[in-house]
Structure 1
Amino acid sequence: MNYIFLDTCVLLDVSTKRSDLPLVSALEELVGSSSVKLVLADLVIEEYERNKESVAKKTAQRLSQEFKQVKAVVNEFAGEKQAETMEVLNDINARLPLLTEANYATIHRVERLIESAKIIPVSDRAKIAAVQRGLEKRAPFHISKNSVADAVIIEQFFEFMSSLNSNHDTCIFVTHNHSDFSSKDHRKPHADFDEIFSISNSLYFNNLASAIDQIAPDSLAEFEFEHDFTEETRGLREMLDAMDELVDKVWYNRHQNRMWGIEHGEIEVIPEGTERYGSDVIHEHILEGAIKSAERVEGKYEDTGPWSDFEWGMINGKLSALRWVLGDEWDMLDT
């Protein structure tokens, strides 16, 4: 069995970086097929729960700040292309809430992976060994920072790895924290961890992609290919144009129903100024305007019906969904 022991920073990074989505998908596939078992120290889960929200918010704030900086540069230097460029940027700005919300969807996927993991409680041995590392100034205490948690995590990895059958099981430690764990060559562990990673079934990686390639060389490439062709969030202008078309068609259908009612005597056409109102009457000037609007719709779109009940339901459903995305309540179908 391949056991992957993840540091907290790896979980936080894959939760908030869109570029790491193929890693999440590949890990889900490997875990689901029982090719890999995730192993997490309970300390790692506590750190993840404590930091995931703030990291996601910082990611959203960073995107917003970077967007403002780009707009400022365009305003100053774009010249005759400014209006065209600003239209594109404003479209992206309208999509930012959707893009940042995607972070939370990824967090939920990572949380499900955590639920599937083997959780290892931190032992007294690991705590004592971590303290000993601190006293001897060995990595991760070789730099001027509080590295107690990192020391406990690596010692807990060592303890778990030592409990495995070295002939059948491989234990892989993955961290993005190269300053605490790596040597000058970030792909290799610090020399102070030689006692841990000199064992044949113990492997060290400074990124999750390399660890996955070690286990299943082709899987990550497949998921990267899939994500390359994932449809991006649609722009605001595209959504508004689609919504305008749907509004026109919903109105046009209702107009045709009204014309049928007039022809069959169910709706009475009354002179302008007549003080009668209701679904069974329509004033002459309103009808004239409606007929002109209907002609405009007929000239604008190739398909103006009639539609089957299913097609009519789809049109109304699409309009309701678009309006909900843009802030209206569900089932808002006013025209």
Structure 2
Amino acid sequence: MHILMLDTCVWLELASKKSEMRTLAAIEYLVEQGVVAVLLPALVQEEFERNKDRVADQTRKRLSQECKLVKEILVSFGGEGKQQAIAVIDDVNHRLPILSEANHMTSARVEALFAKAIVVPTSDTAMLKAAQRAIAKIAPFHKDKNSVADAVLLELFDEFRKSAVGDYESFRFVTVNHHDFSDSDHRKPHTDFAGIFDDDRSQFFITPNAALLDLADPGEVDFETGYGWEEETRGLLEILDALDELTDKVWYNRHCNRANRIEMGEIKLIPDVAGRPAYDEIHEGLWRGALAAAKAVEDKYEDTGPWTDFEWGMLNGKLSALRWVLGDDWDMLDT
């Protein structure tokens, strides 16, 4: 088994960026298979909890601002096809609240990994060694900034490594903060950390993908986690198209039931001048319009029934659900 310790900033990226979903799935898979154990300093857990909502909100605001900027550019300088491009931008903008909820779901996945992790408290020894680094102005204090938390994390990693040196195949530290941790070649640790990364089993990485490269076959992870089947959030335009189709089909089925009742004599056709119809009557002109509308539905869709009771229930359920998503009350089935 291998030890994997991620800096707080790495966990926050995994929880907030869709591009990192494959990496998160790989870590989940490796933990489940017993290949990797996550080393989690209590400090990282606290920092993640403190910052996860802020990062998710910043992501939503950034995307909203970028959508607005791109739309303004298209309006001012777009040529042929700009209306289609603007419609796509509007669609993405409408999806932002749903995408924000997806961020919270991803944060829950990270926290589920935390629940399985080896949690290490902040020790007095690590604090003392971090202070000594600060006094000596060696990395991560070599750039005149407060890097106490960074130094403590690395000292905790080193403490655990030394205490469990014979228990694990490797100890892997991952951070995207190359300014504080890396040498001029960002892929390598700063020379001030030579005593921590002093053998092949103590390894330093600036991306989680690099840390997992020799532990997981991407194809195997995709197959086992179902990552290749990940569902995309539906766009507003796609939802509206489905809503229109369901409304047409539910109306058409009701029309067919009404036509059957007319044929059976349960509903009577009356002249348009006959005044207000009773519950079992319908004006001839209105019925002619209904027949034309029904013909349009038949021409538009390949499948217009007849449907079983189960299929009919599914149609109504889907229509109710999509209307609820867009703001209607449940069971709103007017057509």
- TM > 0.5 fold call: yes
User: How many Å separate the matches in 1 of 2:34 and 2:116?
Assistant: 11
Whether the 8 Å CA contact 1:74–1:86 is kept in 2: the answer is yes
- Mean CA deviation greater in 164-173 or 21-30: 164-173
Q: CA deviation at 1:108?
A: 1.5
Could you say which residue in structure 2 is the equivalent of 1:151?
151
Amino acid at match of 2:215: I
Offset at residue 139 of structure 1 (A): 1.1
Structure 2 residue aligned with 1:223: 222
Q: Is 2:238 the counterpart of 1:233? A: no
Number of corresponding residues: 333
C-alpha deviation, 1:248, in angstroms: 0.8
Instruction: Specify the alignment match of 2:108 in structure 1.
Output: 108
Contact 2:38/2:117 (<8 A) preserved: yes
Are the equivalent residues in 1 in contact too, given 2:29–2:221 (CA < 8 A)? Answer: no
> After superposition, what is the alpha-carbon deviation per residue over 1:42-74, rounded to whole angstroms, capped at 9, x for unaligned?
010000000000001101111111111111111
Give 2:323's aligned amino acid. R
Moved more, 202-211 or 238-247: 238-247
Alignment-derived partner of residue 23 in structure 1: 23
Distance 1:21 1:227 in 2: 8
Aligned to 1:170: 170
Instruction: Compute the RMSD of aligned alpha carbons.
Output: 2.4
Q: Give the conservation status (yes or no) of the 8 Å contact 1:213–1:220.
A: no
C-alpha distance in 1 between matches for 2:85 and 2:121: 54
Contact 1:212–1:220 (Cα < 8 Å) also in 2: no
One-letter amino acid matched to 2:263: E
Asked if the contact 1:22–1:220 (Cα under 8 Å) also holds between the matched residues in 2, the reply is: no
- TM-superposed CA distance for 1:274, in Å, is 3.8
Q: Distance in 2 between the 1:289 and 1:177 partners?
A: 68
Q: 2:218 is matched by which residue type in structure 1?
A: S
Secondary structure of 2:213 counterpart: helix
d(CA) in 1 for partners of 2:333, 2:178: 55
Q: Which residue of structure 2 aligns with residue 64 of structure 1?
A: 64
1:1-335 alignment, distance < 5 Å: 1-166=1-166, 168-216=168-216, 218-219=217-218, 222-223=221-222, 230=230, 232-270=232-270, 272=272, 274-275=275-276, 278=279, 280-335=280-335
Change (3 A) 1:192 1:220: farther
Counting aligned pairs with the same residue, the percent is: 52
Q: CA deviation at 1:266?
A: 3.4
Write the distance in 1 (CA, Å) between the matches of 2:259 and 2:80: 50
Structure 1 distance, partners of 2:248, 2:119, is 56
Could you tell me how far 1:196 is from its partner in structure 2? Answer: 0.8
Q: Distance in 1 between matches of 2:47 and 2:168?
A: 31
Within 1, Cα distance between the matches of 2:285 and 2:167?
89
Amino acid corresponding to residue 325 of structure 1 in structure 2: V
Partner of 1:144: helix, strand, or coil? Answer: coil
Q: Is the 8 A contact 1:42 1:120 kept in 2?
A: yes
1:181 maps to a residue whose letter is F
Question: Deviation per CA, 1:154-185, whole angstroms, max 9, x where unpaired?
Answer: 11111111111337432111111111111111
Amino acid at match of 1:83: Q
Matches of 1:85 and 1:173, distance apart in 2: 43
What SS does the corresponding residue of 2:334 show, helix, strand or coil? Answer: coil
Q: How far did 1:145 drift?
A: 1.3
Alpha-carbon distance in structure 2 between the residues aligned to 1:67 and 1:168? 47
Structure 1 distance, partners of 2:100, 2:231, is 16
Aligned-partner SS, 1:79 = coil
> Partners of 1:229 and 1:112 in 2: how far apart?
21
Q: Residue 6 of structure 1 contacts residue 175 of structure 1 at CA under 8 Å; is this kept in 2?
A: yes
TM, length-normalised to structure 2: 0.91
**Structure 2 unaligned blocks of 5 or more:** none
More deviation in 35-44 or 201-210? 201-210
Alignment-mate amino acid for residue 82 of structure 2:
Q
Mapped to 2, the partners of 1:105 and 1:245 lie a distance apart of 30
Deviation at 1:275, TM superposition (A): 4.4
- Aligned AA (2:155): E
User: Deviation of residue 220 (structure 1)?
Assistant: 7.0
Whether contact under 8 Å (1:23, 1:220) holds in the other structure is no
Which runs of no fewer than 5 residues in structure 1 stay unpaired?
none
